[in-house]
Amino acid sequence: MNESQQESAFVAELTGMQMPLRLYVQSLLPGDPATHDVVQQANATLWKKRGDFTLGTNFKAWAFSVARYEVLNYRKQQARDSRLVFGEDLEQTFAEEIAARDDDTERRHEALKGCLEKLRPQDRELLLHRYTASAGTLEDYAQRAGRSVGGLKVTLHRLRNALLGCIEKQLPPLEAES
């Protein structure tokens, strides 16, 4: 492989694992909307360090360790005392398991679309509005929606359960590779 082939192999590796990378970073920063920025920062760092990477070795493991470093950096910048952070061992387990997992993001996303259609329109709207960037905290949202935080929390939880149940049913079993 020449330099540009390696370059493009690297690009292919990098683009091919964006979803697992996001999942990993988000699992370390649950609920944090900054995940996206941290992932981009990790991408930039990976690109800068691509000379350190030998093609054919475990790209995900390497990328995840770089991403975790960016997460630590981000936490440092935030310096939020109140933040609850998982122990290092557990974070390492996340990395290993997510790296080993089939990337089913697209299939789940596709299934999710169908499942959202099955919700009552008002439920669907409530749920999706919760996930728009401007929704803010659950409190803000509850206030605007004119509902109690507790009630809203329960409703959202119930809706997510319903969606996950539906997605599971829609997902065709992965065809065994022969």
Partner 1 sequence: MNPAERNELIDDLIEERISEADFLRLEAELSVDPAARAAYYERVQLSMALTEHARQMPAKKAPMRWKTTPSWLAMAALWVALAGIAALLLRPGRTDSVAEVESTANGYAALVSQVDAVWAGQAGAMADGALLPAGIVKLESGLAQVELFSGVRLVVEGTAEFEVLSPMEMRLTQGRVRAHVPETAHGFRIHTPEGDVVDLGTEFAVNASAQSSELHVLQGEVEWHPHAAKMQNMVGGEALRWQAGGDHAAMTADQSRFVGLAEIKERHETAQKNRRSEWLRFSEQMRRDPRLLACYRMDVSDSGERMVRNLASTPAAKPGAGAIVAARRAEDRWGMTDGALDFSPAGSRVRVSVPGEHGSLTMLCWVKINSLDRLYNSLFLTDGHEVGAPHWQITQDGRLFFSVKKMEQSEKGRRDKHNAFSPPFWNTSLSGQWLMLAVVYDVKAGTVTHFLNGEILSSETVPDDFLVEDVRIGNASIGNWSEPAYRKDAEFAVRNFNGSMDEFLLFDAALPATEISAIYEHGRP
Subset of 147-176 contacting partner 1 (CB under 8 A): 153, 156-157, 160-161, 163-164, 167
Nearer CB in complex with partner 1: 51/146: 51
Q: What distances in angstroms separate CA 28 from CA 64, 89, 103, one per listed residue?
A: 11, 12, 18
Q: How far apart are CA 102 and CA 164, in angstroms?
A: 17
User: Is 100 near partner 1 (CB under 8 A)?
Assistant: no
Write the CA distances from 93 to 15, 34, 89, 147, integer angstroms: 23, 22, 6, 38
Task: Name every residue whose Cβ is closer than 8 Å to that of residue 144 and which is 6 or more positions away in sequence.
Answer: none
The residues that touch partner 1, with contacts defined as CB under 8 A, are 1-9, 11-12, 15, 18-19, 22-23, 26-27, 30-32, 36-37, 40, 43-44, 47-48, 51, 54-55, 84, 86-87, 89-90, 93-94, 97-98, 101, 105-106, 108-110, 112-113, 116, 127-133, 137-138, 153, 156-157, 160-161, 163-164, 167
